[in-house]
Amino acid sequence: MKKFIVLFLFQVLLFPFLFSQKLGEIGVSFSIFNSHRDYTTSDIQRIESVSGNGFLSFTVDYFYPLKNNYYIETGINLDKHFFVKYPFANPSNKTYDNENLINIPIGIYKRFWKYGFCNGGLLVDVNYKPGIGTYFGAGLRADSPFGVSLYLNPYIKAHSLLPFSSHRDKYQVIDTGVKIGIIYPLDKLFKKLPRYPKGRGF
């Protein structure tokens, strides 16, 4: 199953380059004002309470242009979530834990007016409770004459709403934050790369 998921995601990310001359845009972002909760829908043997203690988030974004200011949005997101666990038998004996989350958004990004945009779609969680979730956000984006765009993107994510595992305990991590990032067109980036004369080698 994991090999199939990785292969599928690899094909999705390569699709624009294989079938079109449109290179789209690439960006990087990190998240601030982060908060999250770990929900359990069924856990009859649970012996402790879990509370979110914030997380760190970094994303590489890719935007493939469609029509009418629509884009396909994908990329890869790396999170480090921090948790506090309180045993029911002795709540004062709390422990701290952290988990690394890797997830891949596959959604639609829509620009409107001059500065606004919204985005949303599916979220593929690769590790730590793998499954299919969803995300939604909206924000502001400012383009510069040099091609670099800056943006703010408040968002909410629901992880693993459809888990790949059939384990009795069904977990969902819900997190919110504000992404701060930059976006740059790939065609302009490639034009800036050095070009060597034909026949030159090392």
Averaged pLDDT for residues 163-173? 65
Burial class (CB in 10 A: 0-12, 13-18, 19+), 199: exposed
**Taking the model in full, what pTM does it have?**
0.75
| Look-up of token digits 């929900």 | 39
Q: CA angle 23-155-125, nearest 5°? A: 70
Give the residue among 98, 94, 102, 89 at the shortest CA–CA distance from 52: 98
Instruction: Examine the pLDDT at 51 and tell me if it is beyond 70.
Output: no
Per-residue pLDDT, averaged over 177-199, amounts to 75
DSSP classification of residue 201: -
Amino acid at 5: I
Q: What percent of the chain has pLDDT over 70?
A: 68
Q: What does residue 43 show for φ and ψ, rounded to 5 degrees?
A: -160, 85
Looking at residue 83, what is its pLDDT? 76
pLDDT tens string 20-32: 557 789 999 998 8
Task: Report the candidate in 149, 142, 136 with the shortest Cα–Cα distance to residue 177.
Answer: 136
Condensed to tens digits (0 to 9), the pLDDT of residues 134-148 reads: 999 999 999 988 889
In this structure, the number of other CB atoms found within 10 A of the CB of residue 17 comes to 13
What fold is seen in the domain 2-192? Porin (2.40.160)
Q: Which two tokens stand for residue 70?
A: 């629509």
pLDDT in tens, 85-100: 777 666 677 777 788 8
Residue 197 confidence (pLDDT) above 70:
no
pLDDT at 44: 46
At 121, which helix (H) or strand (E)? strand 116-125
Quote the mean pLDDT of the chain.
78
- Residue 95 has a pLDDT of 74
Most confident of 51-65, 88-102, 113-127: 113-127
